[in-house]
Amino acid sequence: MKLKKILVVFGTRPEAIKMCPLVKELKKNTKMKVTVCVTGQHKEMLDQVLHTFSVIPDYNLQIMKEGQDLYDITSRILVDIRGILQTENPDVVLVHGDTSTAFAAGLAAFYSQIPVGHVEAGLRTYNLYSPYPEEFNRQAIGLFAKWHFAPTDSAREKLVKEGKDPKQIYVTGNTGIDALQTTVRPDYRHPELEWAEGSRLLIITAHRRENVGQPMREMFRAIRRILDTFSDVKAIYPIHLNPTVRKIAQEELDNCASLRLIDPLPAEDFHNFLNKSYIILTDSGGIQEEAPALGKPVLVMRDDTERSEGVTAGTLKLTGTSEETIYNLCRNLLENSDEYYQMSHAKNPYGNGTASIQIVNILEQELEMRK
């Protein structure tokens, strides 16, 4: 039987963390020929993940340049991936989520009339500027995708309401939870965690485009005030490699004895840091899914979230980006043990770690490989 050709495309850290478990699962299937193309939208942060999961790409477009803007990313991927689509002529192109890599690679596949499978489909805020440009990217991918792999029932409902064919939508859970199964270990140790031992540990991340500037300064000032208020609290912040984010973080958070500013951690380490933390403060998307699976409350430093299931379940709280509100909500969570208990014992709504296996089974069926 002729092998079905699956081209998997990703380019940033979060996509890689959520696509590597799927690549590994696809590669176990003897009826599929799996090709991995990374765009290199991220460089060091992407390489960290490829190394953690031992995935070696077949193609690397290496598009990243410092200070890249949305025109650079989208146009370079669209043009550079054309030849790969022509050479490989895949039966399906799989993209993930809402990055510019996912949008541009999906659009390129659509131009070549190759079916697109969208992993992590149906997340929405319905505010095109928050998160920006991700809300546009994922809605646009939804227009041309043939198969929508939704992580939750509520993501599925949104797609149905938008008029997608319900038969083409599959609820699988989030592949990010699959990744956690291979990274988190109870006996994990790290020198930074030893530094924080005996304290309540905050893990911090921030990188969203719409927060760069004043909102990010407010977030960091709130965190600094928390650390000044509570002597038993320490914080670790692995800073994203975006130079503007790093500059703001260094300006606002330097010289704070109870906070460590460190480089981005490999996923395996970062997941274990989450697992050892007390509270997470972040504007990240993926961390909003991982933390509940580890029983950790998340203060989401954004005005909107597409992970509304986590808010409903009680494991995420939206804080907005004002210093005063973040400070008050974090303080409350540190002082109020009932609230802490409730947030850390809410049910994880993002699946049971079998999303990748489910997607492979669905693709087998959809690509008519079970004759």
Q: Under the rule (CB under 6 A), what is the footprint of ligand UD1?
A: 12-14, 41-46, 66-68, 98-100, 133-134, 207, 209, 240-243, 285
Distance between start and end Cα atoms, the chain: 10
Active site residue 240: yes
Dig out the tokens for 27 from the structure.
């590669």
In the block, tokens 């049971």 appear at: 352
Question: CA–CA separation, 361 vs 364, rounded Å?
Answer: 5
Q: With CB cut-offs between 5 and 8 Å by kind, which of ligand UD1, ligand UDP, none does residue 42 bind?
A: ligand UD1
Catalytically annotated residue among 240, 271, 302, 307: 240
Q: How far is the CB of 301 from ligand UDP (least distance, A)?
A: 12
* Contact in structure between 1 and 252 (CB atoms under 8 Å): no
Q: Does 210 bind ligand UDP (CB under 6 A)?
A: no
Which of 57, 90, 286, 349 is the binder for ligand UDP (CB under 6 A)? 286
CA dist 232 and 221 (Å) reads: 18
Residue 208 among the catalytic residues = no
Contact criterion met (CB below 8 Å) for 18 and 119: yes
The 3-state secondary structure of 39-51 reads CCCCCHHHHHHHH
Q: How far is the CB of 41 from ligand UD1 (least distance, A)?
A: 5
From the list ligand UD1, ligand UDP, none, which binds 243 (C-beta under 5 to 8 Å, kind-based)?
ligand UD1
Q: Is 200 a catalytic residue?
A: no
Q: How far is the CB of 77 from ligand UD1 (least distance, A)?
A: 10
Which residues share a beta bridge with 201? 234
The Cα 239–Cα 367 span in angstroms is: 42
Which residues within the stretch 135-194 sit at the binding site for ligand UDP (CB under 6 A)? 176
Transcribe 320-352 into DSSP letters. -S-HHHHHHHHHHHHH-HHHHHHHHTSPP-S-S
- Residue 345 annotated among the catalytic residues of the structure: no
Minimum distance from residue 205 beta carbon to ligand UD1 (Å): 9
304 is an active site residue? no
Instruction: Work out whether 4 is an interface residue with ligand UDP (CB under 6 A).
Output: no
**Which is nearest to 99 in space by CA: 125, 119, 126?**
119
Which CB, 35 or 348, lies closer to ligand UDP?
348
Gap between the Cα atoms of 208 and 45, Å rounded: 16
- Whole-angstrom CA distances from 279 to 5, 73, 188, 322, 330 are 43, 34, 18, 18, 9
- Catalytic annotation present for 76: no
Kindly state whether residue 284 participates in binding ligand UDP, applying the rule CB under 6 A: yes
Partner whose binding site includes residue 290, from ligand UDP, ligand UD1, none (CB under 5 to 8 Å by kind): ligand UDP
Size of the site for ligand UDP (CB under 6 A): 17
Q: Which of 190, 200, 209, 260 is catalytic?
A: 209
Q: Which of 88, 120, 218, 269 is catalytic?
A: 120
What character string, x for contact with ligand UDP (CB under 6 A) and - otherwise, covers 67-86? --------------------
Cβ proximity of 85 and 113 under 8 Å:
no
Does an H or E element contain 37, and which?
strand 32-38
Report the residue number, 214 or 342, with the smaller CB distance to ligand UD1: 214
Distance CA 241, CA 42 (A): 9
Segment interacting with ligand UDP (CB under 6 A) among 86-94, 137-145, 259-267, 311-319? 259-267
Q: What are phi and psi of 264, to 5 degrees?
A: -55, 140
In the bound state with ligand UD1, the residue whose beta carbon lies nearer, of 139 and 354, is 139
Least spacing, CB of residue 53 vs ligand UDP, in Å: 11
Question: Cβ 205 to ligand UDP, closest distance in Å?
Answer: 5
Q: Which residues are catalytic?
A: 98, 120, 134, 207, 209, 240
Give the residues lining the site for ligand UDP (CB under 6 A).
13-14, 17, 176, 205, 207, 238, 264-265, 267, 270-271, 284-287, 290
